[in-house]
Chain A
Amino acid sequence: MAVSEHPWPVSSVPGRERAAVDVDVRDFKAVYDRWVLEVARWIRAMGGPAADRDDLLQEVFVVVHRRLPDFDGENLPGWLYRITAHQVRDFRRKLWVKHIFSRSVPLTESMPAPGPTPVMSVESRQKRDFLDGLLSSISVPLRTAFVLFEIEGYTAEEIARIQGAPLNTVRARILRARKKLSALIEASR
């Protein structure tokens, strides 16, 4: 059985834990069950529109299903992350082209999410929309590092591993994102 060689550390953030479970990388169902939630988190962090999240998840796992037989088993999270990044980038490009033509498709991820919106308080929804607006103003690497670290509860090591970036770069991105977001908040007052 080919098992992913990089066990996934468990997040320390309460309520945002992730089980450290190794999966057989040849078993698509096991990979899907184990990673679908993580991929959904990455899609959000990368700025994939919430309304299109399920479509993006489907696209990502269609590619995973097709390429899994050729996968060497090294760093499954990193491999999945790269596929996700490509799919989100392509999706945003398509959306951008559509937007240029029609001027009717919103480009930002502040589209209404299919979730518990009716029960969500107006205040927290406003906060969320405000944060989404701020996040859409910073670059994708900063945004991804910030959302994964601050909201999704990833450690900097986990982010470095899936992005294939040096740990110090990830830390610097998180700090720069904080600085930029703080500046944007200040400017909005």
Chain B
Amino acid sequence: MTGGGKDLERLIEMSEAATPEQARLRDLVQSSSGVEVSDGAKQQIYMKVLAQREGRHRKRFALLRPAFVLGVILLAAGATAATALGHRWMEQRRRPAAAALAPAEPRARVEAPRGEVALAPVEIPATAPETLRPHTPRTRPRSEDPSAVVNALEALRKQHDPDRAAKLLAGYLAAHPKGALAEEALALSIEAATARHDPAASAFARRYLRDYPTGRFRQTAQAVLERQQSYGAR
């Protein structure tokens, strides 16, 4: 068997082609060489992969830094609270003994307000700075999926459904504000908003001109803004 099946032979191993077209196909296959990757290219790609991963690791550590600071603060606060409570407890243990030795002492002093001395639990206000807030677990950065933009394009141009397109594009732009297709997504958002007679079209246009001042769709964005200004002037 050649090539994985008793009845399946490779074209280049056939002694005779069945048809002139098959002979031509065999000739084409014979002239087509297999893929090769040079050692230099291999090494270069390997270094790029490691460099890219290193960059992502650094970003991840940068994200973990606030959590580390928060952990240290909580530990310090816990240790302080534990020390204060320990002192208070020791004092209270000592006082009854002292009262027994000196009965003339007023009782009220021995029964000092116990409830008031308890330390309030450490709470972090909602308005605390970022570093003090509990660290919410962040999801691992996922590789970019362009399906949303592709589907939005189809929804807009083929299915004439600008509502769906707008939702898909909003999702993509929220997930990948600097994505490979962010410029196209923003341009499509202008188109979708215009189709829906949504005033957000001008906001998208302004955002486009701000993010891509020399972009390919700047004329479209400018036209949308001009149209809006002319409506406003009427």
Contact residues in A for B8 (Cβ distance below 8 Å)? 156, 171, 174-175
Tell me if B3 and A155 are in contact (CB < 8 A): yes
Contacts of A62 in B (CB 8 A): 49, 52-53, 143
Q: How large is the interface on B (under 10, 10 to 19, 20 to 34, 35 or more residues)?
A: 35 or more
Interface membership of B5, Cβ < 8 A? yes
**A36 in the interface (beta carbon within 8 A):** yes
Which residues 43-101 in A have Cβ within 8 Å of B in the complex?
43-44, 53-54, 57-59, 61-63, 65-66, 90, 93-94, 96-98, 100-101
Kindly state whether residue B16 has any CB partner on chain A within 8 Å: no
Q: Which of B19, B34, B37, B184 contacts A97 (CB 8 A)?
A: B184
* Other-chain residue from A37, A43, A156 in contact with B3 (beta carbon distance below 8 A): A156
Residues in B123-148 with C-beta less than 8 Å from chain A: 143-147
Given that A36-B42, A37-B36, A182-B19 are known contacts, is A155 also in contact with B4, CB under 8 Å in the complex?
A: yes
Which residues of B are found within 8 Å of A153, using beta-carbon distances?
Answer: 34
Across the interface, A101 reaches (CB within 8 A) one of B29, B53, B216, namely: B216
Alpha-carbon separation in the docked complex, A37 to B35 (Å)? 8
Chain A interface size range: 35 or more
Q: Nearest residue in B to A128 (C-beta to C-beta)? A: B32
A58 and B153 in contact, given A102-B216, A171-B8 (Cβ under 8 angstroms): no
Is A97's CB under 8 angstroms from B35's CB? no
A100 to B144, CA, bound (A): 19
Question: Min CB distance, A75 to chain B, in Å?
Answer: 17
| A38 → chain B closest CB, angstroms | 9
Q: Are B46 and A183 in contact (CB-based, < 8 A)?
A: no
**Set of chain B residues within 8 Å of A134, measured between Cβ atoms:** 28
Q: How far is the CB of A6 from chain B (nearest CB, A)?
A: 15
Q: For B35, what are the chain A residues with a Cβ–Cβ distance below 8 Å? A: 37, 40-41, 43-44, 53, 152
The minimal Cβ–Cβ distance linking A182 to chain B, given in whole angstroms, is 4
Nearest CB on B from A100, distance (A): 7
Query: Cβ of B25: which chain A residues have Cβ within 8 Å of it?
Result: 178, 181-182, 185
A96 to chain B, nearest CB (A): 7
- Known contacts A37-B35, A97-B150: does B5 contact A150 (CB below 8 Å)? no
Contact of B181 with A97 in the complex, beta carbons under 8 Å? yes
Contact A178/B22 with A37-B36, A96-B150, A98-B184 known, Cβ cut-off 8 Å: yes
Given A13-B10, A174-B8: A32 touches B46 (CB 8 Å cut-off): yes
Q: Look across to chain A and name the residue whose beta carbon is closest to the beta carbon of B183.
A: A101
| Minimum-distance CB pairs A-B, first 7 | A156-B4, A155-B4, A182-B21, A127-B31, A131-B28, A157-B4, A185-B21
